[in-house]
Chains A and B, each alone.
Chain A
Amino acid sequence: SQTIHQWPATLVQPVGSPLSLECTVEGTSNPNLYWYRQAAGRGLQLLFYSVGIGQISSEVPQNLSASRPQDRQFILSSKKLLLSDSGFYLCAWSIKGEKLFFGSGTQLSVL
């Protein structure tokens, strides 16, 4: 069966520090991969999505970047965090047209 792992669950980082959030998928091949950010009480903002290794589409110009070094690995990074980067980050995967399978999320607080 397919599973998705996202870690850590919570993270507190100082302003200006780097960030690396990792997401891995098991039990499927060549999935579409996604990173979303959700502010408290708000909707899901699509940050990045990938339809294959090395293929990254960026939706919002920002302080973040994403990479897909392996078929089932998706990494969200920042060189220097800003206060505005705080939020709930969700990784997800799908096969085109099918539903998204979500990770459990990472609550990032930048102080």
Chain B
Amino acid sequence: AQTVTQSQPEMSVQEAETVTLSCTYDTSESDYYLFWYKQPPSRQMILVIRQEAYKQQNATENRFSVNFQKAAKSFSLKISDSQLGDAAMYFCALNNNDMRFGAGTRLTVKP
């Protein structure tokens, strides 16, 4: 079975600083997709970034980037120049038909 592990229940970052959220996963598949989702208090699920496992190049979306280490089955999210609006729950997810989520990391941004 596929599993996703987020070992940081809570993280805190100073506004304008950089923070990295960790995620590891386990799958026997070679073809899969990885995602980071953000969930603000509204509980709406917002896609932050997507990575295809067959691509070696790390995905980037503006201030958000990932460090994808396929052999280590690691998929961390880096948020640069953190903003107050980045405060939310962040979920790592693994998709190969059955989309599975980690337990989440609550990110606090201090002004």
Show the binding face of A for B, using Cβ within 8 Å: 32, 34, 36, 38, 41-44, 46, 49, 51, 57, 59, 88, 90, 92, 94, 96-100, 102, 104-105
Interface pair B98/A46, CB less than 8 Å apart:
yes
Interface pair B45/A100, CB less than 8 Å apart:
yes
B94-107 CB contact bits vs A (8 Å, 1 = yes)?
A: 01111111111010
B63-91 CB contact bits vs A (8 Å, 1 = yes)?
A: 00000000000000000000000000001
Interface pair A43/B98, CB less than 8 Å apart:
no
Interface pair A43/B103, CB less than 8 Å apart:
yes
Chain A residues with CB below 8 A from B43, complex form: 38, 88, 105
**Residue B47 interfacial (CB < 8 Å):** yes
Partner of B100, one of A41, A46, A104: A46
Partner of B97, one of A36, A51, A90, A102: A51
Whole-angstrom distance from the CB of B84 to the nearest CB of chain A?
20
Partner of B99, one of A41, A43, A100, A104: A100
In Å, the complex CA distance between A32 and B96 comes to 11
Interface pair A49/B98, CB less than 8 Å apart:
yes
Interface pair A46/B47, CB less than 8 Å apart:
no
Interface pair B98/A42, CB less than 8 Å apart:
no
Show the binding face of B for A, using Cβ within 8 Å: 6, 33, 35, 37, 43-45, 47, 50, 52, 91, 93, 95-104, 106
Interface pair B45/A46, CB less than 8 Å apart:
no
Partner of B104, one of A36, A42, A94: A42
Whole-angstrom distance from the CB of A94 to the nearest CB of chain B?
7
CB-based closest 9 A-B pairs: A43-B103, A44-B101, A102-B45, A43-B104, A99-B47, A97-B33, A49-B98, A43-B101, A100-B99
4 further contact pairs, Cβ within 8 A, besides A32-B97, A94-B95:
A44-B91, A46-B101, A92-B45, A100-B99
In Å, the complex CA distance between A38 and B103 comes to 10
